[in-house]
């Protein structure tokens, strides 16, 4: 895709579509005339999104999907394939554990966060990439985070998952280059956004036991991210990067300073201090 104007009539699949960046992407894609297949783990939020999009004349199909489950992502891919070839896939679903020392994280914490954030992207790529390679056309956009440019304490699982997404995306793009495929991978690195990420535990499966944030912690985290840009603003930046053919898309230019400090640290063997420590009380 060389320009956003070419979105008209293209088929885009968005996971984690019902809130935050996902909802912003759906709004902007719909404005440009794309047809949408939207996936989320929250049915009511998904229905609300679809109603909003349809009121604006957007062609949209909803699919309730837990991206941590490969069979559900395969079902999503099959439904999308029945509509038409997928031009754009946004692997966007993401969650975060409650801020806490890494030693307090349970196996369920790790399985839940990595299952959604990392394996959700692995599942999406595995399910959609083969058809794109066969057509020699398509773009996959993987949502990481500015947490992949530098790290903070007390969210070890979330941070590890976002670093892994960048490495996975780079590896897949190298494979595509080696096979001389025109399919593209993009990794988005959004900074502070006004989203419901702080309340990720609302979607935590009952079987995935673990500590949920207290009301006080949730208030602190929500207040912090409420000052971020909107999902639609972030979506505009991401889509502009896709249009330019960028591989890395950073929504907040100041985050590049964090990356610079990190790599300067690598050169000297020293860990740079975190830019914005997580508030834990």
Q: What is the mean pLDDT of the chain?
A: 90
Tally helices (H) and strands (E) across the chain. Answer: 9, 7
Q: What is the pLDDT at residue 206?
A: 63
Q: Quick one: pLDDT at residue 224?
A: 57
pLDDT in tens, 1-23: 444 557 999 999 999 999 999 99
Q: Where are the domains of the chain?
A: 4-268
Per-residue pLDDT of the chain (281 residues; tens, 9 = 90+): 444 557 999 999 999 999 999 999 999 999 999 999 999 999 999 999 999 999 999 999 999 999 999 999 999 999 999 999 999 999 999 999 988 899 999 999 999 999 999 999 999 999 999 999 999 999 999 999 999 999 989 999 999 999 999 999 999 999 999 999 999 999 999 998 876 555 566 666 666 666 666 676 666 666 656 568 999 999 999 999 999 999 999 999 999 999 999 999 999 999 998 876 555 54
Burial category of 239 from C-beta neighbours within 10 Å (exposed 0-12, middle 13-18, buried 19 and up): buried
Q: How many CA atoms lie within 13 A of 101 on its CB side?
A: 2
274 touches 152 (CB < 8 A): yes
* Burial label, 136 (beta-carbon count in 10 A; 0-12, 13-18, 19+): exposed
Closest CA to 77 of 123, 33, 114: 123
In terms of Cα–Cα distance, which of 28, 30, 15 is closest to 62? 15
Q: How far apart are CA 169 and CA 142, in angstroms?
A: 7
Tell me, what's the pLDDT at 278? 58
Nearest to 235 by CA among 253, 251, 256, 252: 251
Question: DSSP of 141-187, one letter per residue?
Answer: EEE--GGGTS--SS-HHHHHHHHHHHHHHHHHHHHHHHTT---EEEE
Per annotation, catalytic residue among 158, 174, 248, 263: 158
Catalytic site includes residue 174: no
Q: How many other CB atoms are there within 10 angstroms of residue 125's CB atom?
A: 20
CA distance 126 to 132: 11
CA dihedral 18, 22, 25, 29 (to 10 degrees): -50
Question: CATH says 4-268 is which class?
Answer: alpha beta
Helices marked H in 100-146 — which ranges?
A: 107-117, 119-135
- State which H helix or E strand residue 90 sits in: strand 88-91
State the Cα–Cα distance between residues 179 and 194, nearest whole angstrom: 39
């Amino acid at each position: 895709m060389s320009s956003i104007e070419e979105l008209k009539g293209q088929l885009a699949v968005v996971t984690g579509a019902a809130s935050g960046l996902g909802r912003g992407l759906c709004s902007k894609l719909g404005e440009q005339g794309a047809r949408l297949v939207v996936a989320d783990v929250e049915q009511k939020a998904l229905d609300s999104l679809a109603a909003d999009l349809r009121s604006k004349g957007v062609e949209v199909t909803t699919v309730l999907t837990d991206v941590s489950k490969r069979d559900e992502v395969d079902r999503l891919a099959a439904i999308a394939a029945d509509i038409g070839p997928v031009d754009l896939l946004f692997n966007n679903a993401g969650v975060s554990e409650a801020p806490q020392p890494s030693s307090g994280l349970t196996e369920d914490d790790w399985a839940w966060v990595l299952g959604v954030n990392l394996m959700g992207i692995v599942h999406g790529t595995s399910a959609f990439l083969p058809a794109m390679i066969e057509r020699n056309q398509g773009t996959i956009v993987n949502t990481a985070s500015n947490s992949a440019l530098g790290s903070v304490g007390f969210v070890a699982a979330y941070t590890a998952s976002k670093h892994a997404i960048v490495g996975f995306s780079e590896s897949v793009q190298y494979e595509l280059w080696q096979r001389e495929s025109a399919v593209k991978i993009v990794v988005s690195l959004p900074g502070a956004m006004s989203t419901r990420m702080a309340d990720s535990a609302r979607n935590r499966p009952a079987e995935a036991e673990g500590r949920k944030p207290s009301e006080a912690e949730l208030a602190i985290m929500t207040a912090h991210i409420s000052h971020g840009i909107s999902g639609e603003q972030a979506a505009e930046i991401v889509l502009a990067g896709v249009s330019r053919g960028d591989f890395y898309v950073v929504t907040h230019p100041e985050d590049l300073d964090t990356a610079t400090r990190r790599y300067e640290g690598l050169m000297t063997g020293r860990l740079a201090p975190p830019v914005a420590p997580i508030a834990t009380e």
